[in-house]
Each structure stands twice: as C-alpha cells, then as structure tokens.
Chains A and B, each alone.
Chain A
C-alpha cells in the first residue's frame, strides 16, 4: 500500500494489489455514510475560520548576553529549549522516513535503496548528540554552551583524533554491503 504521510491529511489509498483494493473497498462501506452525512449537512452549516501556528522571533543567544542579564538568559533559554524540541522532531521524521522505506522495499532491498535515508538519520542523531546529548532534561543554554566550549578546546588540543567516527561508520557499511553481495552470488564459497 503506497501511503505517503509527507502531506498533511492526505493518504493515497490506491495500489495494484487486488486484495488490498478489496480491503480498501470494505473500509469504504463504513466511510460512505459518514462522508455523505458530512458533505450534505455539516459542511453547509459551517463557516471556515483560521488558526495559526505561533511564529517565535529569534532573540539573542546566550553568547550575546551580558553576564548578570537574567532576562536575556531567560529568553535565550526558552529559544534553546524550542530548538532542542525541533531538532528532536527532525530526527524522528528522518527515522520515520527510513523505516517506511524499509517497509516498502523489505529488509533485503532496503539495505541498498534506503542507504541515503539511513545515513541522513544517523548524521542527524550524531549531531543531536554532539549538541544536546548527555546534558539531561533540565539542561539550560549555559550547559550546552559550556559543552561546546569544552569540545572546541578538546578538538584544539587533539587535532588528529576523531571521536565522531562518521567515516569509520561508512567503511563498516561498505564492508557489510560487499559481504552481502558476495554471499548472494556464491553462498557456499564466501
């Protein structure tokens, strides 16, 4: 069933599968009276009116706040928490995309076809961890700021070492892909 959840409120209920089409038709038996009632009686008596999502303006971050300026700190902290939430949702969306790709193609083909989505998801997770990880739920913007400071100092003192290891992960993935190919071509030999 090719259902795309990217668009808000619209699900594509069509497929080449006859069985799925019949199941969808069965669902429409329940759906028919409800949509009929809605279109005839309800939609005519309603007036459309809008609602909006709050648009938070950007305020100065913690590195632009003076020491002792508690109001500036409060606003920067609020912005920090909002950004953390947004980043968390971004990682969840990427995870969902990769998962749907695997569901569509299966675990075997998905290993090749969903690789880009997997990499995006992992990159987002590592970046989230670099910025917000291990600080706790009661973290403030100052904690994240200090974490960044310590990380930059460490990177300055240890220029050759690499904690994140994205390249190493890429190599591991390549090895596993090659192993998979070898196994499929000749299971007995490899």
Chain B
C-alpha cells in the first residue's frame, strides 16, 4: 500500500524505483512484484540504509594486519634494535702487525654475522680453488703427453703399443712361395 503523506519526508529514501511517479496507486503484483517500493505502514521511520559492502575492505585490512604482525613487526623491531644499539661499522685503516679477521671486512652487522658463522672462509675457498686449478692443469698435461706419444707411434710405427698389429705366421707361409720366386727371379 502506497501512501502519499507527510511521513514520506521523514524517511530517508535511498533507492527509488523509476516507475514510481505521481500519486497513482500501484499494486505490486505479477511483473511489478519484484520492485521495491517504499512501503509505509505507520510502524517506524527506520529503513535499511543501503551502502556498499564491508566484506572486502575488512578482509583486506585483516590480512594486512596478519602479515604485518607475522613478519613486518618482528623484522621492524629487529632492524630498529640493530640500528639503535649496534649500528654499522666504521671504516678504519688496517693497523700494522694486525691482520683483520675475514668477517671484519664487512660493514653491516648482519653481514658480519653471516660471514662469520654461516658462510665459508673466503681465503680457504680461494686456496682450495687454486688447488683444483693445479690438479686439473697436471691432468691436462698428462693427457696432452699421452696424445702426443700416440700420434708419434702412429706416424713412425716403430713401437709395440697402440698401433702394433702382430702378423701371424700363416700369412707369411701362404705368401712364402711368391716371395722365394721373386728372389730367384731378381737374381
């Protein structure tokens, strides 16, 4: 039931249908049954305040808060502690008769900690790499030597090793007659 009365001015109307105009009484039946009219039954002035949903904003802030508390705040506190109480190192000249330890070449205290306790000593790694280079060099030289010996044996055919194929006695005996004939004829 639609009423055109003074009460209509008090009610905040957010959603109005486009079909509503004039003072004609329109019955919400059939095709018009899904249209929301502002129905007044002299009960109260409160209507639903239609506004956008809060689900997504709340979810966003909730997950933001979650991640901040889990990771952001601890890291922030850790870095604040580091910068207030520890601080970065100060560059100095190397004093004589003193060899700085391998972690004292870094400025950041976290890097110092990591290089001291987590990563390996760079001097040790360097010497180990030099050792590997030396060993590979030795192997290379041996391989080159072997190659050279092989080629020389192949060219000269004067050594009983890779390319020596022993001749069996039977082949010589097979060709013995021809050999003797050649000698007799040449003489």
Contacts and interface: CB of A to CB of B under 8 A. Distances in A.
Determine the interface band of chain B, counting residues with CB < 8 A from chain A: 20 to 34
Contacts of B85: 45-46
B74 interface: no
Interface in A20-59: 41-42, 45-46, 48-55
Looking at A45, A48, A51, A68, the one whose CB has the most chain B CB atoms below 10 A away is A51
Given A41-B84, A42-B84, A46-B86, A55 B94 contact: yes
Nearest to B136: A70
B57 to A, nearest CB: 34
A71 interface: yes
Contacts of B91: 50-53
B107 interface: yes
Contacts of B76: none
Interface in B112-159: 112, 129-130, 133-134, 136-137, 141
A74 interface: yes
Contact of B104 (A45, A46, A52, A55): A52
Consensus secondary structure, chain B interface: helix
Interface in B83-116: 83-87, 89-94, 100, 104-107, 112
B140 to A, nearest CB: 8
Given A68-B141, A71-B134, A71-B137, A53 B90 contact: no
A62 to B, nearest CB: 15
A19 B118 CA distance: 53
A130 B107 CA distance: 36
Interface string A117-161: 000000000000000000000000000000000000000000000
Contact of B87 (A46, A55, A69): A46
Given A50-B92, A52-B93, 5 more contacts: A42-B87, A46-B87, A50-B104, A51-B106, A74-B133
28 contacts: A42-B84, A45-B84, A45-B85, A46-B85, A48-B87, A49-B89, A49-B90, A50-B89, A50-B90, A51-B89, A51-B90, A51-B91, A51-B92, A51-B107, A51-B112, A52-B91, A52-B93, A52-B94, A53-B94, A53-B105, A54-B105, A68-B137, A69-B137, A70-B133, A70-B136, A71-B130, A74-B129, A74-B130
Interface of B: 83-87, 89-94, 100, 104-107, 112, 129-130, 133-134, 136-137, 141
